Structure 1
């Protein structure tokens, strides 16, 4: 097991305090949004023997195991993060695998530079993801049933929202959601800004179920994404609870600290709540216009007490272990690569002692023995590639 040194990304929406508090360091006053743990070339973790992406590239079969290389190619298939939202992230969706490959090929053929601001597909991969809350964590996830959204919108009493409520009542689910989202994102910007201002005022006054949307509106005044957000379920996760987000599901994280894991991709189609590029036609092609419950995912403990977050993702499996200081050592040796992240207490990993925010990389097949350390229980998140 090898200790990782990880990069913290200072995105504007990041919390100034959450990651420093977990790491036990003084805040800098600047946003600290994400700590990346993995081999993504944008910010690879470092081992004593070099950047993790270069280490994997030098001998992928040794580091990842032959089965993982055979299924996913010569790269670590997942990216693990600590995510700390102090303000809402962009409202977004991710493509499925076929859409990502076709979109990437089309943009390559068109000669769009990989780092261009109007680039949608920066790689050929899809991006299923899971967020597990370490603190109370708010987000938006999936479309609410149109009739329920129509009632919510009508309750605001904003005249310019009435046509949207009428559409949501009059059309079948797929058509209703598609028409309203299209109308919101293609409307005259000045008219949208005025509607958003009236909506914000009404949501502030009414509070209750409107409060999350009022908060979004204060962070993004005049943004059409505020109206798009009204179409989505609001969910609050308690520590240990999670959300899984598959292809085509619109979502946004609003605030809180969590452990996030995803397929190793950077493909994002944005709907709003951002100054970045919004490609409306491509977005509408990728979004799945069906209502879904914001299903909260809770872990299931295996016979040894490892709490597994079960998802259909082929690239990753996230689990959590709570280790008593006097418990017997646990052998986590796996045929594939692993990243272990401590989020609370103290944990012994081989000859290393990990505190909150510390992490290790375990190459395929290498012995991975862990145990609790210190006076209290230690919490460890484990990221592996499913067999």
Structure 2
């Protein structure tokens, strides 16, 4: 992957003496040559990059018409004395010895506009309060928003809500993708018929489908406390209970906040859990006293092994999951009565009260004392591996995950809860959370999971007055572009293409499939945020 960012720094001028001496570069304020490439910036600081082959004894001549429209462009230039590709000689201009003609690919790659699916889960924000409903209306003003929750937008090939190729409409400057022959074809079907758009390395590693699913989440009430099985476990669960576990795939995931985004995730440090068990009578009443004492002892002992601490946590957590509903209700009633008379609630306690309103009598409310409670700021992200408990509580976010809908639930839901499977499968790690921080010194932020999860990675593109443009090249992987704020002009250039072949306006409410090897340049029209989902192609 390669990315080049535009910044508004003051341009500088450097010079080198080329051979032959009659060389000119016009209408640029910065010029650098290292024998392989020339990098320039136009007067408005839009980056222009010329990639050249090394030369034996001559340098090419570049003229303004070579880069034409503004934006990042690549122009392959060679010594015309040995390469017949470049024949335009401007003999009437003594200042220009050679003029390089751009080489254009015979098969032009381009973005393909997508029509995305929506999920109306009960926990979603209602109607036009939902970021999902707003996104749908921005992309299609005729879209009718109903009075119901709009929880998730899906971009991908999952069968529950597949994306479809959208027929090009409007002016060519708005929707350049001429998809009419693919209109109403699912993205999955399109990829099966056009595997070259994925790239050879992708199809070799992942087949002719996308291994990830890209989403927008708009959360009003807490999602279920859940975890996702690793792949081998998912295969066993699917084989034994396909009604509740509909596919054999794993589901690691990453989420990036669009607004303040509240979540419970992974286990707290053990001393914090021990403190809660010792100081919250209503919580302590849900587990056996001797188990609490053993847990506190193991946690407090410097000689306890990591495995001993994990086993102690597992024992007490399983006890909480399997506690009978009458005892759970009694503890909830007692604790809510006590907290409502308090004028100095902690963040954890107020969250507990909110959960009891949303899910009355659900033992999952007490898990706020076992799991980390966090709030991500816009641009911050969180990665969750397999077997990590979590529940998103409130806010809007972009999520990317392995292409699966396997969920093991243990609370905060009227749906099927598989407490025993949940308790047995968890890792019981209390390591620091895998938090991503946004890049505040450039327009690109990468959210990349550990290499053992190659199914996906995520890139955030953020354009402002300070960072008005940026280029990005998809390598061996294709991608899905999801615009969540503002608008930008997108110039693009496919495999073997050296000058961007076209431009289109991309704005909030639009999503595109981007073929592999596509080079794109985003130029800000208004403050702009978009996400590109990809998979991780192994080296070699």
With normalisation by structure 2, the TM-score equals 0.64
Measured after TM superposition, the shift of residue 341 of structure 1 is: 1.2
Q: 1:202 to 1:139 in 2, by over 3 A?
A: farther
Provide Cα deviations, 1:196-250, integer angstroms capped at 9, x if missing partner.
2223334443521312222122211111212233210101100000110001110
Corresponding residue for residue 252 of structure 1: 391
Q: Is 2:536 aligned against 1:386?
A: yes
Provide Cα deviations, 1:301-330, integer angstroms capped at 9, x if missing partner.
89x742111311301110111235794562
Corresponding residue for residue 47 of structure 1: 165
Residues 301, 308 of structure 1: 8 Å contact kept: no
What is the DSSP-based 3-state SS (H/G/I as helix, E as strand, rest coil) of the residue aligned with 2:392? Answer: strand
Deviates more, 1:25-34 or 1:280-289: 25-34
Corresponding residue for residue 345 of structure 2: 207
Residues 286, 328 of structure 2: 8 Å contact kept: no
Residues 264, 373 of structure 2: 8 Å contact kept: yes
- Give the Cα–Cα distance (whole angstroms) in 2 for the partners of residues 345 and 251 of structure 1: 31
Measured after TM superposition, the shift of residue 76 of structure 1 is: 0.4
Please give the residue correspondences for 1:61-210 in structure 2 after superposition, counting only pairs within 5 Å: 61-104=195-238, 106-107=239-240, 112=241, 114=242, 116=243, 119-120=244-245, 122-158=246-282, 160-161=285-286, 163=289, 165-166=292-293, 168-171=295-298, 172-204=308-340, 205=342, 207-208=345-346, 209-210=348-349
Corresponding residue for residue 10 of structure 1: 120
What is the DSSP-based 3-state SS (H/G/I as helix, E as strand, rest coil) of the residue aligned with 1:41? Answer: coil
Please give the residue correspondences for 1:206-245 in structure 2 after superposition, counting only pairs within 5 Å: 207-208=345-346, 209-245=348-384
Residues 384, 434 of structure 2: 8 Å contact kept: no
- Give the Cα–Cα distance (whole angstroms) in 2 for the partners of residues 337 and 136 of structure 1: 30
Please give the residue correspondences for 1:299-378 in structure 2 after superposition, counting only pairs within 5 Å: 299-300=438-439, 305-312=443-450, 313-324=453-464, 327=468, 330-350=471-491, 351-365=503-517, 367-374=518-525, 376-378=526-528
- Asked which structure has the greater CA Rg, the reply is 2
Measured after TM superposition, the shift of residue 9 of structure 1 is: 0.8
Q: 1:227 to 1:64 in 2, by over 3 A?
A: same
Corresponding residue for residue 193 of structure 2: 58
- Give the Cα–Cα distance (whole angstroms) in 2 for the partners of residues 328 and 260 of structure 1: 24
Query: Between Structure 1 and Structure 2, which shows a larger proportion of helix residues?
Result: 1
- Give the Cα–Cα distance (whole angstroms) in 2 for the partners of residues 284 and 372 of structure 1: 49
- Give the Cα–Cα distance (whole angstroms) in 2 for the partners of residues 291 and 200 of structure 1: 28
Measured after TM superposition, the shift of residue 333 of structure 1 is: 3.7
Residues 88, 254 of structure 1: 8 Å contact kept: yes
Deviates more, 1:202-211 or 1:275-284: 202-211
- Give the Cα–Cα distance (whole angstroms) in 1 for the partners of residues 220 and 405 of structure 2: 21
Residues 141, 251 of structure 1: 8 Å contact kept: yes
Provide Cα deviations, 1:59-101, integer angstroms capped at 9, x if missing partner.
4x32322211221223201100000110000001111122223
Q: How many residues align?
A: 373
Corresponding residue for residue 431 of structure 2: 292
Provide Cα deviations, 1:227-285, integer angstroms capped at 9, x if missing partner.
23321010110000011000111000000000000010111111111111122222222
Residues 218, 397 of structure 2: 8 Å contact kept: yes
Q: 1:221 to 1:166 in 2, by over 3 A?
A: farther
- Give the Cα–Cα distance (whole angstroms) in 2 for the partners of residues 189 and 256 of structure 1: 30
- Which consecutive residues of structure 2, in runs of 5 or more, have no partner in the other structure? 1-110, 167-181, 299-307, 492-502
- Give the Cα–Cα distance (whole angstroms) in 1 for the partners of residues 511 and 277 of structure 2: 45
Measured after TM superposition, the shift of residue 359 of structure 1 is: 1.1
- Give the Cα–Cα distance (whole angstroms) in 1 for the partners of residues 455 and 248 of structure 2: 14
Q: 1:322 to 1:86 in 2, by over 3 A?
A: same
What is the DSSP-based 3-state SS (H/G/I as helix, E as strand, rest coil) of the residue aligned with 2:516? Answer: coil
With normalisation by structure 1, the TM-score equals 0.88
Measured after TM superposition, the shift of residue 362 of structure 1 is: 1.1
Residues 365, 412 of structure 2: 8 Å contact kept: yes
Provide Cα deviations, 1:173-208, integer angstroms capped at 9, x if missing partner.
212321222112222211112112223334443521
- Give the Cα–Cα distance (whole angstroms) in 1 for the partners of residues 113 and 358 of structure 2: 38
What is the DSSP-based 3-state SS (H/G/I as helix, E as strand, rest coil) of the residue aligned with 1:62? Answer: helix
- Which consecutive residues of structure 1, in runs of 5 or more, have no partner in the other structure? none
Measured after TM superposition, the shift of residue 4 of structure 1 is: 1.1
Residues 167, 180 of structure 1: 8 Å contact kept: no
- Give the Cα–Cα distance (whole angstroms) in 1 for the partners of residues 471 and 118 of structure 2: 30
